[in-house]
């Protein structure tokens, strides 16, 4: 396995399975913890911890107030940031964010924008004066492949958990008054779910790659779908060329995965909402 990793993997792939016992289209066990009781971040407005096999990603959402931009006076901001600290894997050094972290941050920002899961107009409190800024910090605690899927899932779960205090602007003083007692949940319009695939030897597609599989793969594809079966993102950063038919296989699997994830999230949200 250490001397000829590719040959080792090929032998398994020929039998249509993988060294950890999974089928080619099978995901690793997914667990999600949402909220202040189960998740450790007590200072965040919303938080979630997602484990996809060994890959552990935590997302904390903090809401702050700011003045909206001049050209979009009725829009708030959502600022995602993905961090890959050196504690999650040997290959990540401490220091400024590497290419992978930055590309992942851009990907998450694109997914939020493309899927319109949060409409920026919903974050506006007073036109031109006050709007919410949601800082979404996604930190990987253990990197074992498939960062993008786990990050998108963690973001979705954390945002579902966010409770925004109601804000009113005092007419006379012009200052904002935050009412922490009255909280409203964030309006989430769409629920995008990402499904990543690794391409082996230009032909074989496997779902949810581990870090070892990602290193051996010749390419990766990530498909993000929402609940209506629409594609929010097709992210294929280079790698071996794929035909349209292969992409269609990926999309079909992604749509199935979306249903599984949505069911899981709904179950967890229901279990933590106070009756």
Partner 1 sequence: GVLERSREQLLRQTCEAVVLGVLHPRTAITLLLVPWGPLTPPQLLSCCLNAACMALLDAGLPLAALFCGVTCALQPDGTILLDPTARQEQEARAILTFAIASSERKVLMANTKGSCSVEEMHQCMAAAQRAADTIFQFYRDSVRRRYSKC
Q: What is the contact surface with partner 1 in residues (CB under 8 A)?
A: 99-100, 102-103, 105-107, 109-110, 113-116, 218-219, 221, 226, 229-244, 247-248, 251
Residue with smaller CB distance to partner 1, 211 or 251: 251
Taking the complex as a whole, the smallest distance from the CB of residue 190 to partner 1 amounts, in Å, to 8
Taking the complex as a whole, the smallest distance from the CB of residue 224 to partner 1 amounts, in Å, to 9
Residue with smaller CB distance to partner 1, 242 or 268: 242
Taking the complex as a whole, the smallest distance from the CB of residue 80 to partner 1 amounts, in Å, to 10
Give the strand pairing for 130-142 and 77-83: parallel
Residue with smaller CB distance to partner 1, 17 or 89: 89
Q: Of 39, 31, 30, 29, which Cα lies nearest the Cα of 161?
A: 39
Spatial separation of the C-alpha atoms in residues 55 and 151, rounded to whole Å: 10
Residue with smaller CB distance to partner 1, 50 or 221: 221
The torsion defined by the Cα of 238, 8, 104 and 109, in degrees rounded to 10, comes to 80
Taking the complex as a whole, the smallest distance from the CB of residue 233 to partner 1 amounts, in Å, to 5
As to burial, measured by CB atoms within 10 angstroms (0-12 exposed, 13-18 middle, 19+ buried), residue 49 is buried
Taking the complex as a whole, the smallest distance from the CB of residue 99 to partner 1 amounts, in Å, to 5
Phi, psi (degrees; rounded to nearest 5) at 113: -70, -45
Asked if 262 and 227 count as a contact pair (C-beta separation under 8 A), the reply is: yes
Q: Of 82, 188, 56, which Cα lies nearest the Cα of 135?
A: 82
Residue with smaller CB distance to partner 1, 174 or 244: 244
Q: Terminal CA-to-CA distance of the chain, rounded, Å?
A: 51
Residue with smaller CB distance to partner 1, 133 or 247: 247
The torsion defined by the Cα of 31, 93, 215 and 88, in degrees rounded to 10, comes to -20
Taking the complex as a whole, the smallest distance from the CB of residue 252 to partner 1 amounts, in Å, to 9
Contacts of residue 219, defined as CB under 8 A and 6 or more positions apart, other chains included, come to 198, 199, 202, 236, 238, 239, 240, 242
Q: Is 129 helix (H, G, I), strand (E, B) or coil?
A: coil
Taking the complex as a whole, the smallest distance from the CB of residue 96 to partner 1 amounts, in Å, to 11
Residue with smaller CB distance to partner 1, 33 or 195: 195
Widest CA span in the chain: 74
């Amino acid at each position: 396995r250490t001397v000829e990793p590719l040959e080792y993997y090929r032998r398994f792939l020929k039998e249509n399975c993988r060294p950890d016992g999974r089928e080619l289209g099978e995901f690793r066990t997914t667990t999600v913890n949402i909220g202040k009781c189960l998740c450790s971040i007590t200072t965040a407005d919303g938080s979630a911890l997602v484990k996809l096999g060994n890959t552990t990603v935590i997302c904390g959402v903090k809401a702050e107030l700011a003045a909206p931009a001049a050209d979009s006076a009725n829009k708030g901001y959502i600022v995602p940031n993905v961090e890959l600290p050196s504690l999650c894997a040997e290959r990540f050094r401490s220091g400024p964010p590497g290419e992978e972290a930055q590309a992942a941050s851009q990907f998450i920002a694109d997914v939020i924008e493309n899927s319109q899961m949060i409409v920026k107009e919903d974050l506006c409190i007073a036109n031109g004066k006050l709007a919410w800024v949601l800082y979404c910090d996604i930190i990987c605690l253990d990197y074992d492949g498939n960062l993008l899927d786990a990050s998108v899932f963690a973001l979705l779960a954390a945002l579902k958990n966010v409770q925004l205090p109601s804000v009113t602007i005092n007419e006379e003083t012009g200052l904002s008054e935050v009412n922490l007692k009255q909280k409203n949940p964030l309006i989430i319009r769409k629920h995008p779910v990402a499904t990543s695939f690794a391409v082996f030897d230009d032909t074989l597609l496997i779902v949810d790659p581990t870090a070892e599989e990602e290193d051996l793969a010749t390419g990766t594809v990530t498909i993000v779908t929402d609940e209506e079966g629409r594609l929010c993102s097709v992210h294929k950063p280079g790698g071996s060329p794929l035909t349209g038919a292969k992409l269609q296989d990926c999309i079909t699997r992604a749509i199935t995965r979306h249903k599984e994830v949505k069911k899981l999230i709904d179950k967890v949200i229901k279990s933590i909402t106070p009756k």
